[in-house]
């Protein structure tokens, strides 16, 4: 009996090998590729997943077309192209049609955006969207009293936003939930993603390696209604961090010096990309957020960022995202030149010869 089973097993294996050689399709097997794994964007939306596989496919197409090194920020944008085969790509001139992963609105700008979306006649938003009630709360006396006052004054607005969000499948963060940028950072940001938000400091999410860009309400409505989002192909300003932060030097000192060199309009039409030492990982959130006045900021994701919030989805998302980013959004051999070296400060001042800027 045992010999018969062994013979039958050998025959089955022979047939399987013969079928594979002849191109005959056999039983499906589970793929070991990390790109084939499904991982939720967050804990709040069960049916929204990070599509790293699609990003990888788009990026391979663009990489073959351009045949040149790409920066991290470029890889995020180009991996979200609506038409990677036919899209014209030229920094500073062509307009990219992109498919963002998410949309975020604050209570002051969400009202008109939702009213415009309602005119589209759709039953629900086409892309994951959230509304955060924080901007209409004025700080006057104290947290509890200011919150109660805001709820009373803006009762009609909050009721409209709550009911509209429930109707159109939009995530609603009620007054008192927290600041929009911190909520996005702790709940919705992930490496390699693309988010647009109707607030100037949306780039705060760039601290986790996500391209978060501030837009107007009309742009948000386009994405909510499943239309491509148009963005002028940005130039790239690279900031490479080396050396150590000594003495009283703080991350904001670096930002102030970069702002001094770029001026207010210097970052218009560009993405500021920070990269370099792992020691600066704790500064990434500050870099990305404070860069908002000069252009969106994005930082390379680091393993240390997995420690930022062990109780939220980040511990899973970041660890998985680091592996994915190493696979699809790996660094090319040539990237931007050194911009910052051995920064030192005294009385909140940096020496000019301690910082260099390279722009493309």
Please state, in angstroms and rounded to a whole number, the distance separating the CA atoms of residues 39 and 62.
25
Q: Average pLDDT per run of 10 along the chain, which is 360 residues long?
A: 45 48 53 72 87 90 91 90 95 94 95 95 96 93 92 96 97 94 89 90 82 90 96 83 74 77 73 68 60 54 41 50 48 36 38 38
Question: First CA to last CA across the chain, in angstroms?
Answer: 74
CB 304 within 8 Å of CB 208: no
Instruction: Please give the pLDDT value at position 247.
Output: 75
Instruction: Determine the pLDDT at residue 132.
Output: 96
Residues in the chain: 360
Sequence-ordered list of residues with C-beta below 8 angstroms from that of 9, at least 6 positions apart, any chain: none
The separation between CA 238 and the C-alpha centre of its own chain, rounded to angstroms, equals 18
Residues 48 and 267: their CA atoms lie apart, in Å, by: 33
The domains of the chain are located at 67-359
Cβ contacts of residue 201 below 8 Å, gap of 6+? 181, 214, 289, 292
Q: What is the pLDDT of residue 300?
A: 54
Q: Look at the alpha carbons of 98, 101, 105, 110 in this order and tell me if their dihedral is positive or negative.
A: positive
User: Using alpha carbons only, what angle is made at residue 232 by residues 228 and 238, rounded to the nearest 5 degrees?
Assistant: 120
- Only one residue has tokens 């006045």, namely 293
Query: Global pTM?
Result: 0.77
CATH code for the domain defined by 67-359: 3.30.499.10
Residue 286 has a pLDDT of 60
CA–CA separation, 169 and 44 (whole Å) = 12
pLDDT of residue 288: 65
The C-alpha atoms of residue 64 and residue 60 are separated, in whole angstroms, by: 6
| Token duo for residue 28 | 């499906």
Region of 100 (left: φ > 0; alpha: ψ -120 to 50; beta: rest) is beta
Centre a 10 Å sphere on the Cβ of residue 356 and count the other Cβ atoms it contains.
Answer: 14
């Amino acid at each position: 009996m045992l010999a018969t089973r062994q013979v039958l097993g050998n025959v089955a294996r022979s047939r399987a090998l013969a079928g594979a050689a002849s191109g005959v399709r056999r039983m499906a097997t589970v793929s070991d590729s990390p790109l084939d794994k499904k991982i939720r964007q967050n804990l709040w939306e069960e049916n929204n997943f990070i599509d790293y596989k699609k990003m990888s496919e788009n990026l391979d197409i663009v990489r073959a077309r351009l045949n040149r090194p790409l920066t991290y920020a470029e890889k995020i944008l180009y991996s979200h192209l609506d038409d990677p085969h036919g899209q014209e790509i030229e920094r500073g001139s062509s307009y990219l049609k992109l498919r963002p992963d998410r949309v975020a609105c604050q209570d002051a700008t969400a009202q008109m955006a939702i009213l415009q979306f309602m005119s589209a006649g759709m039953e629900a938003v086409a892309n994951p969207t959230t509304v955060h009630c924080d901007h209409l709360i004025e700080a006057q006396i104290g947290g509890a009293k200011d919150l109660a006052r805001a709820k009373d004054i803006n009762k009609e607005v909050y009721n409209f936003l709550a009911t509209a969000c429930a109707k159109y499948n939009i995530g609603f963060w009620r007054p008192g939930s927290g600041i929009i940028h911190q909520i996005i950072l702790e709940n919705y940001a992930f490496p390699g993603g693309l988010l647009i938000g109707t607030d100037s400091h949306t780039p705060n999410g760039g601290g986790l390696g996500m391209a978060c860009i501030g837009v107007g309400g009309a742009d948000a409505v386009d994405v909510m209604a499943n239309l491509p989002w148009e963005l002028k192909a940005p130039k790239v300003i690279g900031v490479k961090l080396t050396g150590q932060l000594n003495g009283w030097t703080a991350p904001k000192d670096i930002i102030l010096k970069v702002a001094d060199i770029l001026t207010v309009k210097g970052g218009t039409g560009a993405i500021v990309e920070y990269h370099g030492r792992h020691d600066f990982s704790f500064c990434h959130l500050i870099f990305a957020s404070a860069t908002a006045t000069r252009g969106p900021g994005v930082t390379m994701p680091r393993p240390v960022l997995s420690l930022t919030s062990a109780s939220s989805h980040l511990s899973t998302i970041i660890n998985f995202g680091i592996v994915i980013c190493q696979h699809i959004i790996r660094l090319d051999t040539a990237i931007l030149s050194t911009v910052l070296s051995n920064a030192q400060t005294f009385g909140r001042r940096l020496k000019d010869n301690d910082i260099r800027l390279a722009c493309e």
